[in-house]
């Protein structure tokens, strides 16, 4: 009808975008690439379905740059725009990735529509295991996923995992990024404002300060674009905490990520016999050795279950946590949690947390009182029993008093300090919220 208007329904599709391995040890950060992309797409009117995802993958991966983070964005847009958005994503990654490093091998994944179960299973495996590039390529081909790689493209593994990751357990991190001219320089953050923020938001934010040393934990020590990040149980708390920090330098942008940090999703309950290098495990068993400490301050114990024994380590950076380990005794029942690595002494579990289930009873033996004068008797020699020097009374070795040993530790869960904590490890503070 002439002059009449009618609304046209534009068909929209869901596009899941994953990016990984754009950084090196000398610069850049994959979260920064994700943050820039997030702002670019929003400026183009692309509808975001959620916060951008910061997905921490297997912390034991030998190929990781630092924290093994990949990012994902989930958007809704008209079909006619999909091609243009993909081109913009690829162009942005090509422009920002850290060039000149053989180990920097960016990957980009595009998943159109619903994420199938097999893809989600792959994402979980990438958090807990080592998966190969061939596996990622084969799964992508069979699932209709579009993958792009640069400089070898090993990052396609993490990109596929991030794009397909189901964020059903999560925390948040609000990250402030530096202006490019300040990258690589000392970060100018008011330390007292961080302490005040931590005090005001405790219980909502976490790991801002290391309580043992007072060290500020919201800023990295690497020459990357990140200025600071505040982690929290809600997006609002993360952003509120970040706004309380005083920065003595300009901030380029702030983005709040939804993340699997502090969820323990990397940990797998298993037996000693099932342990493999580069996995993260929870082992329940009995302490079967006396703890010992080697030069450098690293402390070790052995734990046994029905299938075998494993060495468990508390390294020097775990500081006071080592005192808990040193207080263990044979027979104590525990659950040890951490990453599994092959060391010269054999397969070793690097402990992140330790749960003491029960303490074994241990006793100290001491000479009995003299039945004649009541004074404490003395040893009469090896296997000779006891003798009272005052009245000459003698008693056999079996007369010794057995006194229960008072233990310095109690059943409960113990953790390493924030400075030694991995991104995926859940702080005990969150269990009390």
Confidence of residue 4 (pLDDT cuts 50, 70, 90): very low
Confidence of residue 117 (pLDDT cuts 50, 70, 90): confident
Confidence of residue 116 (pLDDT cuts 50, 70, 90): confident
Higher pLDDT among residues 379 and 245, named by residue: 245
Quick check: 101 and 32 in contact, CB under 8 A? Answer: no
Confidence of residue 431 (pLDDT cuts 50, 70, 90): confident
Average pLDDT across the chain, whole number: 95
Quote the radius of gyration of the chain (alpha carbons, Å). Answer: 28
Average pLDDT over residues 307-335: 97
Quick check: 253 and 239 in contact, CB under 8 A? Answer: no
Specify the pLDDT at position 433.
56
Average pLDDT over residues 410-428: 96
pLDDT tens profile 216-260: 999 999 999 999 999 999 999 999 999 999 999 999 999 999 999
Quick check: 122 and 70 in contact, CB under 8 A? Answer: no
> From the CB of residue 104, how many other CB atoms can be counted at a distance below 10 Å?
23
Residue 75: pLDDT over 80: yes
Task: Name all domains of the chain by residue range, CATH numbers in brackets.
Answer: 12-164 (3.30.70.2200), 172-259 (3.90.600.20), 267-361+408-431 (2.40.50.1010), 363-404 (no CATH)
pLDDT tens profile 13-23: 999 999 999 99
119: its two tokens: 């893809």
Q: ∠ CA(288), CA(289), CA(292), 5° rounding?
A: 155
Confidence of residue 6 (pLDDT cuts 50, 70, 90): very low
> What is the pTM assigned to this prediction?
0.91
Determine the Cα–Cα distance for residues 97 and 324; give it in Å rounded to an integer: 43
Average pLDDT over residues 100-113: 97
Cβ neighbourhood burial of 318 (10 Å; 0-12, 13-18, 19+): buried
Determine the Cα–Cα distance for residues 331 and 286; give it in Å rounded to an integer: 6
Confidence of residue 10 (pLDDT cuts 50, 70, 90): low
Specify the pLDDT at position 197.
98
Beta-bridge mates of residue 410: none
Residue 2: pLDDT over 60: no
């Amino acid at each position: 009808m002439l002059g009449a208007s009618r609304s046209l329904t534009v068909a929209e599709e869901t596009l899941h975008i994953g990016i990984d391995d754009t950084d090196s040890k000398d610069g850049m950060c994959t979260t920064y690439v994700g943050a820039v992309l997030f702002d670019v797409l929003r400026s183009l009117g692309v509808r975001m379905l959620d916060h951008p995802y910061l997905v921490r993958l297997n912390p034991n991966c030998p190929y990781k740059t630092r924290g093994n983070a990949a990012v994902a964005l989930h958007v809704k847009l008209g079909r006619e725009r999909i091609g243009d958005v993909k081109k913009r994503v690829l162009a942005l990654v090509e422009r920002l990735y850290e060039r000149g490093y053989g180990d920097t091998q960016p990957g980009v994944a595009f998943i159109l529509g619903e994420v199938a179960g097999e893809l989600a299973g792959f994402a979980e495996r990438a958090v807990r295991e080592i998966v190969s590039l061939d596996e990622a390529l084969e799964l992508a081909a069979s699932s209709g996923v579009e993958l792009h790689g640069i400089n070898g493209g090993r990052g396609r593994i993490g990109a596929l995992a991030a794009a397909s990751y189901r964020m059903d357990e999560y925390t948040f991190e609000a990250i402030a990024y530096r202006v490019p001219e300040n990258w690589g320089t000392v970060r100018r953050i008011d330390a007292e404002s961080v302490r005040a923020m931590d005090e005001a938001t405790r219980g909502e934010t976490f790991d801002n300060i290391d309580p043992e040393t007072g060290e500020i934990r919201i800023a990295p020590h690497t020459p990357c674009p990140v200025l600071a990040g505040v982690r929290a149980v809600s997006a609002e708390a993360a952003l509120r905490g970040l706004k309380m920090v005083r920065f003595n330098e300009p901030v380029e942008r702030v983005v709040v990520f939804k993340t699997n940090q502090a969820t323990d999703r990397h940990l797998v309950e298993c037996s000693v016999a099932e342990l493999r290098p580069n996995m993260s495990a929870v082992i329940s068993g009995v302490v079967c050795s006396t703890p010992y400490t080697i030069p450098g301050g690293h402390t070790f114990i052995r734990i046994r279950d029905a299938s075998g024994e494993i060495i468990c380590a508390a390294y020097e950076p775990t500081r006071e946590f080592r005192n808990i380990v040193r207080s263990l005794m044979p027979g104590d029942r525990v659950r040890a949690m951490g990453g599994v690595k092959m060391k010269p002494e054999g397969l070793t579990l690097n402990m992140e947390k330790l749960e003491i289930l029960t303490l074994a009873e241990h006793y100290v033996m001491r000479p009995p009182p003299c039945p004649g004068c009541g004074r404490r008797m003395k040893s009469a020699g090896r296997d000779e029993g006891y003798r009272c020097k005052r009245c000459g009374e003698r008693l056999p070795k079996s007369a010794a008093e057995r006194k229960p040993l008072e233990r310095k530790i109690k059943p409960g869960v113990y953790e390493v300090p924030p400075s030694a904590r991995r991104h995926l490890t859940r702080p005990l503070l969150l269990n009390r919220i």
